[in-house]
A and B are shown apart, each in its own frame.
Chain A
Amino acid sequence: MFSKPLFKATLKQNYVVFIIILAVLMLYLPIIIQMFDPSTQDTLDEMLKVLPQGLISAMGFSNVGSTLLGFVASYFYGFLILLLPMIYVIIVANRSIASHVDKGSMAYLLSTPNTRGKIARTQAGFLLISITLLLGIVTIVGILVSENLFPNELDIKGFLLLNLNTLLLYFALTGIGFFASCLFNDTKNSLALGAGLPVAFLVVQMLSNTGESVEFLKYFTLFTLLDSDKIINGEGYGINFVILIILAIILYASGLYVFKNRDLPL
């Protein structure tokens, strides 16, 4: 099913990026949770007033709730969680297949008694496992820091759902990267789709937040399916979960199929 030595080698190749992204997330998450302190809330509002309204909306900071969950959802899950792990996903997805094909090292992998399917499954598995681990650590640290600073303030069920929603969003995003990686011979093209599309989604997401006249843009970005409002209100989020799971399955399955059957320029 999976190749253990390849998984190990892929881990060695990628752990530095993983640690850097995790470190930046770990730097921001406690700072943002700490800012919830009601005594500093006014200062924060003052500070935000200085900035142009459009910019604040674009970052998803506009509908700050009065609860800790709402606060974290808009300040951390509105922008940072979309940007930082996305960088990790783009790099690792491109390295998973396309970069091996581009460089020619895939010729070595395929000259061992491992099928193309097994190699692609191993790389897909690494993507899914590592992004789960990354967001899992964020979830656990988020809960620990919140409980430590503001005991019993965090709606833990809501926070878990919010993180599950994020994880499913990332399953779909890694799916795009993996599919692009399987489809193209060149890193250049793989990145054009695998990085271009998620970045475009993020830009469209930021635009669609800025006003009602451009709100229709939300139908053109996958990030709309990470809807913290629905989770905070406790209803209507299920459909987003289902769509993301189906997307992820389709993208990974197509990637595997394409890679198994296409001609490789090795």
Chain B
Amino acid sequence: MSIIEINGITKDYGNRKGIFNLLFAVEKGEVFGYLGPNGAGKTTTIRHLLGFLTPDTGSAKILGMDCRKDSAEIMKHLGYLPAEIAFFDGMKGMDFLKFMGEMRGLANTSYRDALIEKFQLDTKGTIRKMSKGMKQKLGIICAFMHDPQVLILDEPTSGLDPLMQNIFAGLILEEKAKGKTILMSSHSFEEIEKTCDRIGIIRAGELVTTEDIHVLKTKRRKSYLITFDSPATASAFAKTDSFDNITLDGASAKVDVLGSVTRLMEALSGFTVIDFDTQKNSLEEVFMQYYGSTITEENATKQGGVR
């Protein structure tokens, strides 16, 4: 049974902004990564799921209930982390968690306290004076503390340091093991690839694809930055011709490899390598890899026009 269903939602804000005929579903026990650049319509989709917006056409359902009409009923089983954190003025961290617990009629606070421990959050401080990362932790605890069946997380790791990002990834995997259904949005592939089963990519309000993460990983081209002992060695390596995508820059070369890196390792064995580094791909690059350059170029001109 699909836990989250989006049935052809269109919300047109004019000027090509909004979301258009969006159609996807998230199954029970699945972690769904919702990926797209800023302004693509991720948050608009999530606002429909939370019942904040009424779609022009189509409908969204969570646990078989209509997101707009039955939102209060859905909220009994849902944890939500908004993209931006805002609270009552002057509330302390603990006051806020207690308040949200009361609003939900939550009696058992043991999981909340365990989460505070896990994220090492100091809940005594006033929220207004907290750093972005601390606010984010507070928001995460608030979304998970009532042990909901469904979680909707809007850019959950923004503001978290790498250590906390790992703790968060661990939490997602734990919740997944408990059979929770999770939808989380992000603008970075790296951020969600560790935890997600399936990824949906949205661009300019339209769903480009939904794809199993393993399929994506095998299709994915990775870039390696190799530094040789001299520019001569670098150009000698480039001349071996075993890779079609080599960019030279002095003594270093950037090589794009699809799938397994065994062949690159073998080719390198005859050369003196000073440094070997992986380059992180931006979302645009990921797009380019999966859909060819046409999409990205079209996207770039479109964005250029807007700017």
- B72's nearest neighbour on chain A, judged by CB, is A115
Report B-chain residues with C-beta under 8 Å of the C-beta of A109.
Answer: 103
- A4's nearest neighbour on chain B, judged by CB, is B102
Report A-chain residues with C-beta under 8 Å of the C-beta of B302.
Answer: none
A105 touching B99 in the complex, CB below 8 Å, given contacts A111-B80, A112-B75, A264-B52:
no
Instruction: Work out how many contacts link A and B, with CB atoms closer than 8 A.
Output: 70
Beta-carbon contact of A112 and B50 below 8 Å: no
Interface stretch of the complex, out of B33-41, B81-89, B275-283: B81-89
Closest chain-B Cβ to A91's Cβ sits at a distance in Å of 12
Interface membership of A6, Cβ < 8 A: yes
- A105's nearest neighbour on chain B, judged by CB, is B86
A108 touching B82 in the complex, CB below 8 Å, given contacts A263-B52, A266-B52:
yes
Distance in angstroms between the alpha carbons of A5 and B99 in the assembled complex: 7
Interface membership of A43, Cβ < 8 A: no
Interface string of B120-161 (1 = CB under 8 A from A): 000000000000000000000010000000000000000000
Interface membership of B194, Cβ < 8 A: no
Report B-chain residues with C-beta under 8 Å of the C-beta of A13.
Answer: 88-90
Closest chain-A Cβ to B86's Cβ sits at a distance in Å of 4
Distance in angstroms between the alpha carbons of A108 and B84 in the assembled complex: 11
Beta-carbon contact of B104 and A105 below 8 Å: no
Closest chain-A Cβ to B190's Cβ sits at a distance in Å of 27
Interface membership of B76, Cβ < 8 A: yes
Among B87, B102, B103, B105, max chain A CB count under 10 A is at: B103
Interface size for A (C-beta < 8 A) is 24
Beta-carbon contact of B51 and A110 below 8 Å: yes
Interface membership of A40, Cβ < 8 A: no
Interface string of B88-105 (1 = CB under 8 A from A): 111000000001101111
Report A-chain residues with C-beta under 8 Å of the C-beta of B47.
Answer: 264-266
A103 touching B103 in the complex, CB below 8 Å, given contacts A266-B47, A266-B50:
no
Beta-carbon contact of B71 and A115 below 8 Å: yes
Interface of A is mostly: helix
Report B-chain residues with C-beta under 8 Å of the C-beta of A110.
Answer: 50-52, 71, 75
Report A-chain residues with C-beta under 8 Å of the C-beta of B52.
Answer: 107, 110, 263-266
Interface membership of B73, Cβ < 8 A: yes
- B152's nearest neighbour on chain A, judged by CB, is A111
Report B-chain residues with C-beta under 8 Å of the C-beta of A265.
Answer: 47, 52
Closest chain-B Cβ to A150's Cβ sits at a distance in Å of 44
Distance in angstroms between the alpha carbons of A107 and B50 in the assembled complex: 9
A112 touching B103 in the complex, CB below 8 Å, given contacts A266-B50, A266-B52, A266-B82:
yes
* Given A13-B90, A111-B80, A113-B104: 11 more A-B contacts, CB < 8 Å: A9-B99, A104-B84, A104-B85, A107-B52, A108-B87, A108-B100, A110-B50, A110-B52, A111-B79, A112-B100, A113-B72
Residues of A within 8 A of B (CB): 3-6, 9, 13, 103-105, 107-115, 118, 261, 263-266
18 contacts between A and B (CB under 8 A): A3-B103, A4-B102, A6-B103, A9-B88, A9-B99, A107-B52, A108-B86, A109-B103, A111-B75, A111-B78, A111-B82, A112-B104, A113-B75, A113-B104, A114-B103, A115-B71, A264-B47, A266-B50
